[in-house]
């Protein structure tokens, strides 16, 4: 029987849940996963280099390897990455936290700019990371945009993948961008601040290639996206760009890898209608909860999350079969 996320009434606000997902205090305290992590540069093919951190159990006595993919403008050190990574590491899994291009401290590794359609390099990186599992099960867990990348990896010809699990994955980037721009202003300010800070890093590293002065005064994500599509990409327009990583309708009808999605009906940036119209097959399970916000599902401030417990149950059940 499906287990429901049913937080205390004071924790049911989707905005509070979404804020708690990235609250740094949740990731404080001893973290053996971070202490033993080894910095690695991963080949993404075509000269692309991605930065990640590999944490291995003592004597490599692991139950499997889990690749964690963060959300847009997150990083390997986002609170949800550190919290979930620690939770799984303490339960016997090796962990690989991967920065997408131009995230975390990786802006210097590639001249080209990050965008959501760059799936080939992430698939290649995941294939290379999977070799670190040493024939143990290999799993991918993605959050938000990282969940979108994880789902596209599951749709690729990747044959070493045991299961993909996603928390609040992005399905329609056009509608999500609109939701952020038209929703509560703190969401828009949060992403604008982080995106502009990232662009400044890139501009400073490659001044011969980039001058983003026209973008900095812009006040909406859609406006900046349109600016970059028109000036720094080969896409026809914004809709053409967003279409490249939209996952709707019958996208998953031929899905071969097992996928589990944890999502909330009250997510302020992922429209719940995207899940209702999604055509799935026997390899996909969607756990749509009434509460949880965006990547939240927090029970109490200092405890684990509902989705972490569900993930462990799913992985253990998989190992028994």
Q: Find the CATH number of the domain harbouring 286.
A: 3.40.50.1820
The pLDDT of residue 1: 46
Total domains in the chain come to: 1
The pLDDT of residue 302: 66
Q: Are 99 and 118 in contact (CB under 8 A)?
A: no
Ranges of residues in the chain whose predicted pLDDT is under 70: 1-2, 301-302, 318-321
Does 117 reside within a domain?
A: yes
Does 24 reside within a domain?
A: yes
Does 198 reside within a domain?
A: no
The pLDDT of residue 60: 73
Which of 141, 144, 167 lies closest to 153 in space, CA to CA? 141
Does 126 reside within a domain?
A: yes
Does 2 reside within a domain?
A: no
Residue 236's alpha-carbon distances to 185, 240, 300, in angstroms, are: 29, 6, 46
Does 224 reside within a domain?
A: no
Tokens of 122: 């992430």
Does 284 reside within a domain?
A: yes
Tokens of 215: 């973008």
Residues 6+ apart with CB under 8 A from 218: 224, 227
Instruction: Scan for tokens 């859609």, then name that residue.
Output: 222
pLDDT in tens, 203-262: 999 999 999 999 999 999 999 999 999 999 999 999 999 999 999 989 999 899 999 999
Does 127 reside within a domain?
A: yes
What's the domain range around 294? 14-183+247-320
């Amino acid at each position: 029987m499906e287990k429901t996320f049913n937080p205390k009434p004071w924790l049911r606000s989707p905005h509070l849940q979404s804020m708690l997902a990235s609250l740094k205090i949740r990731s404080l305290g001893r973290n053996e996963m971070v202490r033993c992590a080894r910095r690695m540069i991963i080949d993404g093919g075509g000269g692309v280099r991605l930065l990640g951190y590999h944490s291995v159990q003592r004597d490599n006595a692991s139950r499997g390897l889990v690749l964690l993919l963060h959300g847009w403008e997150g990083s390997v050190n986002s609170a949800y990455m550190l919290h979930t990574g620690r939770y799984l590491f303490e339960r016997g899994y090796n962990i690989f936290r991967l920065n997408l291009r131009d995230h975390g401290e990786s802006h210097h590794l590639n001249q080209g700019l990050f965008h959501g359609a760059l799936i080939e390099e992430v698939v290649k990186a995941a294939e290379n990371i999977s070799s670190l599992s040493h024939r143990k099960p290999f799993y991918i867990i993605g959050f938000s945009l990282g969940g979108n990348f994880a789902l596209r990896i599951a749709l690729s010809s990747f044959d070493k993948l045991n299961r993909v699990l996603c928390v609040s994955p992005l399905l329609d980037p056009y509608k999500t961008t609109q939701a952020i721009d038209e929703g509560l202003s703190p969401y828009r300010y949060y992403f604008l601040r982080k995106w502009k800070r990232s662009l400044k890093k890139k501009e400073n590293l490659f001044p011969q290639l980039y001058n983003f002065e026209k973008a900095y005064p812009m006040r909406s994500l859609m406006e900046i996206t349109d600016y970059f599509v028109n000036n720094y990409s080969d896409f026809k327009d914004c809709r053409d760009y967003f279409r490249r990583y939209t996952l709707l309708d019958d996208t998953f009808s031929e899905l071969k890898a097992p996928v589990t999605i944890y999502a909330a009906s009250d997510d302020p940036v992922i429209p719940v209608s995207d899940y209702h119209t999604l055509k799935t097959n026997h390899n996909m399970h969607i756990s749509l909860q009434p509460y949880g916000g965006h990547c939240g599902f927090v029970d109490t401030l200092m405890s684990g999350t509902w989705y972490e417990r569900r993930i462990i149950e799913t992985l253990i059940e998989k190992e028994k079969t």
